[in-house]
């Protein structure tokens, strides 16, 4: 079985290129449909689209899941989510995020919570409002920062390799990683926060690491065959990815913070996608490049 897989990987690499490019096309379709149906290519959280957060102290032993179902039943057309806030592993408060921005709308949410938990008084909760214009402006600025980071990364890669095709392969692999990860993130139903954008910035670095490792081994080194160099790079790359995935998995299991969880989930998805984009897509493109260069 191992030899069969190895034979396919070494000799059918042109056919295998269909996999990453198909994933990229499907991801672009998903993002396009998302943008058409919701006027946004990603599910935005309160910090990016505007809304309010009502934070209640946990002394009332609030069941966040039960409260979320209750509020969603009361306001079926509103965007409402309930999350816990932890400190030192202990739940210290419950936060109710909603798209309510007007005072009357926020009061309706608070009154509904009081209906569920009558003992809550005004001194037991705080309200934070993020205006739609501010959220939109913040999202635009962070998105521009993401694009600038990607452009600078591409420039550094181009300067380092000084050849167009290998540099394009690295940039394409990183771009594919971001796009496919974004599409999968949309399918999870999670809402992107400012922490999520930071995770995508981190993902650019993780993706480029393995791609540059592969390209350097294939283009800079001359010893051994092309596949020997691919397997050497793969051994190092898989070790890097595996150790990171293990660390992320531990964080997902033990960390209760919703902010940290979103970062870890995006990185987890992105690193799995990166395995396909680096070791199938980038390898295939570089092998085609080296074959044509040899001819």
Name the CATH code of domain 51-130 (choices 3.40.50, 3.90.1720, 3.30.70, 2.60.120). Answer: 3.30.70
- pLDDT for 54: 84
DSSP state of 124: G
Name the 3-class secondary structure at 172.
Answer: helix
Q: Please, is 51 exposed, middle or buried when counting C-beta atoms within 10 Å of its C-beta (0-12, 13-18, 19+)? A: buried
Name the CATH code of domain 2-44+133-294 (choices 1.20.1250.20, 1.20.1640.10, 3.40.50.300, 3.40.50.2300). Answer: 1.20.1640.10
* Dihedral in degrees, nearest 10, Cα atoms 37, 267, 245, 152: 130
Give 208-235 pLDDT, tens digit per residue. 888 888 888 888 777 778 888 999 999 9
**Average confidence score pLDDT of the chain:** 84
Q: How confident is the model at residue 245 (pLDDT cuts 50, 70, 90)?
A: very high
Rounded alpha-carbon distances, angstroms, from residue 194 to 62, 65, 209 = 26, 23, 24
Please indicate whether the domains covering 2-44+133-294 and 51-130 agree at the CATH topology level: no
- pLDDT for 25: 96
Rounded alpha-carbon distances, angstroms, from residue 285 to 205, 215, 290 = 20, 10, 9
- Is pLDDT of 47 > 80? no
Domain ranges in the chain are 2-44+133-294, 51-130
Give 127-180 pLDDT, tens digit per residue. 888 766 666 777 778 778 778 877 887 788 788 777 888 888 888 998 899 999
Q: What percent of the chain has pLDDT over 70?
A: 97
Q: How confident is the model at residue 20 (pLDDT cuts 50, 70, 90)?
A: very high
* Dihedral in degrees, nearest 10, Cα atoms 104, 106, 107, 113: 150
């Amino acid at each position: 079985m191992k030899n069969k897989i190895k034979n396919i990987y070494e000799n059918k690499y042109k056919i295998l290129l269909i996999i990453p490019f198909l994933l990229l096309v499907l991801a672009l379709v998903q993002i396009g449909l998302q943008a058409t149906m919701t006027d946004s290519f990603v599910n935005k959280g309160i910090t990016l689209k505007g809304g309010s957060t009502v934070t209640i102290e946990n002394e009332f032993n609030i069941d966040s899941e039960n409260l979320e179902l209750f509020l969603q039943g009361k306001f079926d057309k509103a965007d409402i989510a309930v999350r816990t806030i932890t400190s030192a592993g202990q739940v210290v408060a419950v936060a109710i995020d909603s798209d309510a921005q007007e005072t009357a709308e926020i009061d309706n949410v608070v009154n509904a919570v009081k209906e569920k938990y009558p003992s809550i008084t005004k001194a037991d909760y705080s309200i934070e409002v993020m205006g739609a214009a501010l959220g939109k402006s913040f999202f635009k600025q962070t998105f521009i920062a993401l694009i600038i980071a990607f452009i600078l990364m591409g420039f550094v890669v181009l300067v380092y390799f000084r050849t167009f095709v290998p540099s394009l392969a690295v940039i394409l692999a990183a771009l594919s990683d971001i796009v496919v990860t974004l599409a999968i993130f949309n399918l999870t139903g999670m809402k992107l926060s400012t922490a999520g954008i930071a995770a995508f910035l981190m993902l650019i670095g993780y993706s480029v690491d393995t791609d540059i490792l592969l390209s350097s081994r294939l283009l800079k080194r001359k010893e051994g065959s092309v596949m020997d160099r691919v397997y050497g790079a793969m051994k190092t790359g898989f070790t890097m990815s595996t150790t990171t995935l293990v660390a992320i998995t531990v964080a997902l299991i033990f960390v209760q913070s919703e902010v940290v969880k979103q970062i870890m989930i995006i990185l987890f998805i992105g690193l799995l996608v990166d395995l396909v984009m680096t070791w199938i897509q980038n390898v295939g493109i570089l092998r085609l490049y080296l074959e044509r260069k040899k001819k």
